[in-house]
Structure 1
Amino acid sequence: MIKFPDGFLWGAAASAPQTEGHSLLNGKSATTWDKWFEMNPEKFNDNQGPQDTSNTYEMYQEDVENMQKIGMNSYRTSISWARLLPDGKTLNPEAVGFYRSYFQDMLDHGVEPIINLFHFDMPWWLMEKGGWKARESVDDFAFYAKTAFEQFGDLVKRWTTFNEPIVHIECGYLLGFHYPAIVDFKKAVQVGYHTLMAHVCAVKAFRESGVDGQIGIILNVSPAYSRSDSKEDMKAKNASDLLSIYSFLDPAVLGKTPSELISLLKENELLPYVDAGDSALIKKNTVDFIGLNYYQPNRVMAPENPITPAKTPEDLFAPYDWPDKKINPYRGWEIYPKALYDVAIMMRDKYHNIPWYVSENGMGVADEGRYKDDNGVIDDQYRIEFIKEHLEYLHKGIEEGSNCFGYHLWTFVDCWSWLNGYRNRYGLFSVDLDNDFKRTIKSSGKWFKELSENNGF
């Protein structure tokens, strides 16, 4: 058997906007997702907006019981900023009651809540002021974080500030998948910088709160692999890693922005506006642990006709179509489990072997009803194999000294995925949107119970 360290966290991850539903009820105000769906519903798969998602707001007790049944000892989800502070200042007592009941229920069932503060759900009141483009967003987020620590710090011992900040930066300001869906490299960098400072100031608020616990950040890692070892291709690989990984990982863990990244931004006229004292704040407010979401690698090569200064990231590193790749055809993502070993060694060698965990890893598949067995259970052996392959490489990294303390699958129950809605399913439990959100365990959920009970496979 492959055995994992004692006390290893076996769980799953999700977010408030992708599971809770009740998106404009119970005192919650609108987010960018609510407004974007109102303005452009045609952008959303099958008219599936954020209003109901998986109805966890009403069904969390059943969900928590199911977590316990399949051996989960931890669960990461998020608080909705627009639910807790609908206008950014005034506490919503209904939200406090909901989250306290939810988190206490997890604890009562032996499931540790790991709670994240921001998962792409920008409150509309802040978006109207410029969102992360506006420096005041830093103080607004710090106040929200402080409020969350005060309200739930007795129940939650592991906090994270952001989930995948690179994603809301890229998707909102370079790729068009999140609101405001513009393409502006300079604005993207500024949004990224203010996001970083919001994280830093939330960590500062946590330290000042006196709450007993730890705080981290969840970052998505898509390690770059270059087409060749040529100088040009390696330069492209380095640029990819600087922008996509080191831009947040270095400040969060090492307390400083990489000098190479600063030089790269400067030569491309992309340096953000900064405030005096920011570097001291970054240095002082590092994290206790890191969550890393891993789905796919980033295959890169030198761009054929680069523009300087760069207008898009592809002027710095171009995508490379590796001929030997294995692809998940539903998501279009490469399946490359070995990268999880490379990530584990990176954390060991480059980041002082800080405690970290796999905060997301998973496989989205469309039309899973095709795989139902005679008992109506989705027999998702492909997901089990996907998890096994990644855990084998993760275990290898742990055996070689990487300080990894857990593995969280994306996700527990099928969830809403932004513009993609429910096109692809990721859960250990299926959700029947046409039958009162009925939850049904999949084969992977049954296997996960064995995984957790054996602390390995």
Structure 2
Amino acid sequence: MTFPAGFLWGAATASYQIEGGVADGGRGPSIWDTFAAADGKVLGGATGDVACDHYHRYPEDIGLLAGLGLNAYRFSVAWSRVMPDGRTTSAAGLAFYDRLVDELLRRGVVPVLTLYHWDLPQALEDDGGWPERDTAARFADYAAVVHDALGDRVNQWTTVNEPFCAAFLGYGTGAHAPGVADPDTALVAAHHLLLGHGLAMRALTAQARPGHEFSLALNFAPAIPDGSSPAHAEAARKFDGIHNRFFLDPVLGKGYPADVWADVEHHGGRFAASVRDGDTDVIAAPIDWLGVNYYAPARVTPLADPLAPGNCPLPGLRGLDVLPAPGPLTAFGWEQAPAALTDLLKWISARSGGLPLVVAENGASFVDKVVDGRVFDAARVNYFMEHLHAVHDAIRAGVDVRGYFAWSLLDNFEWAMGYTQRFGLVHVDFETQQRTVKDSGRFLGRVARANALPTSTATAAG
């Protein structure tokens, strides 16, 4: 099993989940600071105030990544660290990422920078947040500031990570920050997140240097019906429409899918009013590659009443239920379905006309323990092995996949689940901040090192 020359082998993180240092460098509060501080919002009352203390320990963490043999690091910039009020630049905040990028380059690691991974400055949320159109314009300003500071050393740029989660979990179900539960508001937020991506693309490409590549990362959940009837096909269409095509198609220049427009029109009409002339052209700014985040498919079944709300509170989903996932499951209760990743990559490639793809997030949480200085996480090793074979199968089928990023480098603050879920290649003792490389980290490093050899001799470990 060999991968293409120049393939990116990396691990991914997000600023709020690992950095800590909330009182350092003039950082302003984000919506996740506010959300985590509210009673009952995060399991165990956990916050990201310290998290992995990456703000102070980044040289150690980058050293661990490089020592494994991974050649790329996908990280996000905290908007509220760079612009504490969402508008005014902090030199001290930018200086942290300046140091981080320099350390990556010193270690021979490619920086893959994400501008937005859900931590909106609280000041902008106070002014309306993503349901307010002006936030998209402020995001473009922020993108330009970061690019101006780091564009001489960073070539790989991602605008927004998973607008689905930021919009539908943050403003639709209220499970994530800022904790708003209103489907119509979520749809407006989703449009403005995509608009923000497009406006940021304009700002970034206006400053682009040779070698720069621009992208965004979408999370996909393939819809698998539990039967073959027309009603089952309709259930799968609805779920695929709102979860996958609603975000993918506008980026590809296809606009919002007509069937999804019909599915969501009963929510009140604010979404339709928020889409102005020219917006879809802005969103369709050409990207160099698409980040594909994949964890699990969704098993769906129709309801007898096509207007019944079902058990999935996403906008537009009436008349279907999402079934409990079949095993084997991760500790998060997510299905392990590597073959669905192969099919997903092939589907996106066909729908996009062969757009280059990067698996920007893929991973699994399991119950990990340090025993005699080692973490024997055989289940995660098997997970990575199976999913890398799935990526390889897609490449053999002609899909242009250019990288794979494990989620995540470190065990971290796992959003509303607090510190109960461990995804890392590196175990973190959150009391002592002791790092311990897991067997899965060593495995992925062996695969990366093997594929760093000349193509004629490269083989994958395992």
TM-score band w.r.t. shorter chain? over 0.9
Per-residue Cα deviation, 1:34-55 (whole angstroms, up to 9, x for no partner): 1123332x43233321100101
Per-residue Cα deviation, 1:152-209 (whole angstroms, up to 9, x for no partner): 1111111111111101222123323113323321111111111111111111111212
Per-residue Cα deviation, 1:292-351 (whole angstroms, up to 9, x for no partner): 1110101112233333899854415321346xx214252011111111110121122111
How far, CA to CA, are the matches of 1:103 and 1:304 in structure 2? 55
Corresponding residue of 2:397: 400
**What letter matches 1:119 in structure 2?**
H
Q: State whether residues 35 and 179 of structure 2, in contact with CA within 8 Å, keep that contact through their aligned partners in structure 1.
A: no
**What letter matches 1:346 in structure 2?**
W
Secondary structure class of the residue paired with 1:315: coil
Corresponding residue of 1:433: 430
Matched, 1:74 2:75: no
Corresponding residue of 1:338: 339
Matched, 1:421 2:418: yes
Q: State whether residues 4 and 402 of structure 2, in contact with CA within 8 Å, keep that contact through their aligned partners in structure 1.
A: yes
1:161 to 159, 162, 172: 159
Q: State whether residues 362 and 410 of structure 1, in contact with CA within 8 Å, keep that contact through their aligned partners in structure 2.
A: yes
For structure 2, which runs of at least 5 residues remain unmatched after alignment? 452-459
Corresponding residue of 1:352: 353
Q: State whether residues 223 and 297 of structure 1, in contact with CA within 8 Å, keep that contact through their aligned partners in structure 2.
A: yes
Q: Any residues of structure 2 matched to 1:21-420 within 5 Å, and which?
A: 21-40=20-39, 42-212=40-210, 213-266=212-265, 269-270=268-269, 271-272=271-272, 273-283=274-284, 285-307=285-307, 312-321=315-324, 325-328=326-329, 330-366=331-367, 368-369=368-369, 372-373=370-371, 375-420=372-417
Q: State whether residues 326 and 336 of structure 1, in contact with CA within 8 Å, keep that contact through their aligned partners in structure 2.
A: no
Pair 1:45–1:350, CA change in 2 (3 A): same
Secondary structure class of the residue paired with 2:130: helix
Pair 1:116–1:329, CA change in 2 (3 A): closer
How far, CA to CA, are the matches of 2:349 and 2:15 in structure 1? 31
Q: State whether residues 255 and 282 of structure 1, in contact with CA within 8 Å, keep that contact through their aligned partners in structure 2.
A: no
How far, CA to CA, are the matches of 1:428 and 1:230 in structure 2? 42
Pair 1:249–1:381, CA change in 2 (3 A): same
How far, CA to CA, are the matches of 2:268 and 2:127 in structure 1? 25
Per-residue Cα deviation, 1:47-79 (whole angstroms, up to 9, x for no partner): 321100101110111111111110010010100
Secondary structure class of the residue paired with 1:144: helix
How far, CA to CA, are the matches of 1:260 and 1:299 in structure 2? 20
- What's the RMSD between the two structures over aligned residues? 1.9
How far, CA to CA, are the matches of 2:28 and 2:306 in structure 1? 43
Per-residue Cα deviation, 1:84-106 (whole angstroms, up to 9, x for no partner): 01122221111121101101111
Corresponding residue of 1:442: 438
How far, CA to CA, are the matches of 1:280 and 1:314 in structure 2? 27
Residue 387 of structure 1: how far off its partner (Å)? 0.4
Q: State whether residues 224 and 297 of structure 2, in contact with CA within 8 Å, keep that contact through their aligned partners in structure 1.
A: yes
**What letter matches 1:450 in structure 2?**
R
**What letter matches 2:418 in structure 1?**
G
Q: State whether residues 309 and 317 of structure 2, in contact with CA within 8 Å, keep that contact through their aligned partners in structure 1.
A: no
Secondary structure class of the residue paired with 2:154: coil
For structure 1, which runs of at least 5 residues remain unmatched after alignment? none
Q: State whether residues 118 and 161 of structure 1, in contact with CA within 8 Å, keep that contact through their aligned partners in structure 2.
A: yes
Using the aligned pairs only, state the percent identity: 30
Residue 277 of structure 1: how far off its partner (Å)? 2.2
How far, CA to CA, are the matches of 1:255 and 1:76 in structure 2? 28
How far, CA to CA, are the matches of 1:376 and 1:162 in structure 2? 37
Q: State whether residues 84 and 91 of structure 1, in contact with CA within 8 Å, keep that contact through their aligned partners in structure 2.
A: yes
